[in-house]
Structure 1
């Protein structure tokens, strides 16, 4: 995204955050998007988080083979890695592919079929009506999905570690409860909030300004996912550097 496109992106967001004409209509759209983003992604996030937690436990146990290192450290490392990095970032990248492509395709199709032009002719704030509910739903539901991902990933680590014999249940539980720093949760939720904004706003921008037909809509959808993923990784570094 160059400086010209970034300027258009900021202007689009400014238009999207104008005061809605009728909050009742917007609230209905917000709840629909919350259902699509949150409930619709719950199964995918649950499966991925559980298996990532299990695999992380096995990999940590494989690397910590020294007799001088207590096995309780396996739970501690898995807990901190999950909370600070894996749950927020992996979840966001997965959601960028699932949700971002859908948002870009939806808005892009409306653009090429002139539905957005029809809304503007009727005097409706098209950016606000189409984009604002998605952004509000994204910054609300993505943090909730990340919290669920944390719980399931740590649980998956417990299951994977104990079933394989890499760590005993007592050692794992002792590891995840020892020296826990609640600030790591705050860092993860800030990341989730930022990622939720990116996942919804960047694809909306790509779809809103698409020109052409079905091929261009598909290209915009692909571009939205790529730009979203790169933005997520860049913001992940910035938030980590600023807060830690």
Structure 2
């Protein structure tokens, strides 16, 4: 019975923690890195057994208990994230297909973090009472790490106010519209907010707005780079101007960027910027 509990807890723990890493950081490489570390640690326990015994039953038993859970959880993770890929697919512009840029709203991340607190406590408790040897320490420290990381995330979001969609129309970024997202929304795409089958709507930046070193807003910037700017008639979108327009002026289509800005009374200063090619 303990072996079955150990297998189930190990597989679920690896899958959920890797999924947590991916959802919180939005970096699938980090999740794969976590799974690789767990796999190597399981092989560290499995290889000596193979070298020291000729009993196939013992070898199979250790493989199923130590190695197979991480393989099983890795397959689940790959399936749930759409396949083994470290890079985003390129957009085929002739067909005007939009890349599925999902937005995980901040309210969703906060709820998910609290859920992971509960899960991490369960993993720590079960690792103490049902799991032994190296795996016990791995799960204990992973659970503790999740709790510590979650506390850091919640502290960083302590002053957060809103997620905002910024829709820019025109090659020269002439028309700018904003729409604040409903805090109850979880995972969305631009098509959930605005649809226009005549144009490619390209997500090209996420801007973090800080005030006195506290994160206040996230702006998700989308661009319809048409030579004939038009007005958006949806009343949910408010036409506006961007106080930080100079900080996005050089950004290009089919790229993505993460920009962190400090907001002052009349201006913005850049804290950090990272650019990516899709």
TM-score scaled to structure 1, two decimals? 0.27
Structure with the largest fraction of strand: 2
Q: Which has the higher contact order (CA 8 A, sep 6+)?
A: 1
Bigger fraction of residues in helix: 1
Instruction: Please say which structure displays the higher CA radius of gyration.
Output: 2
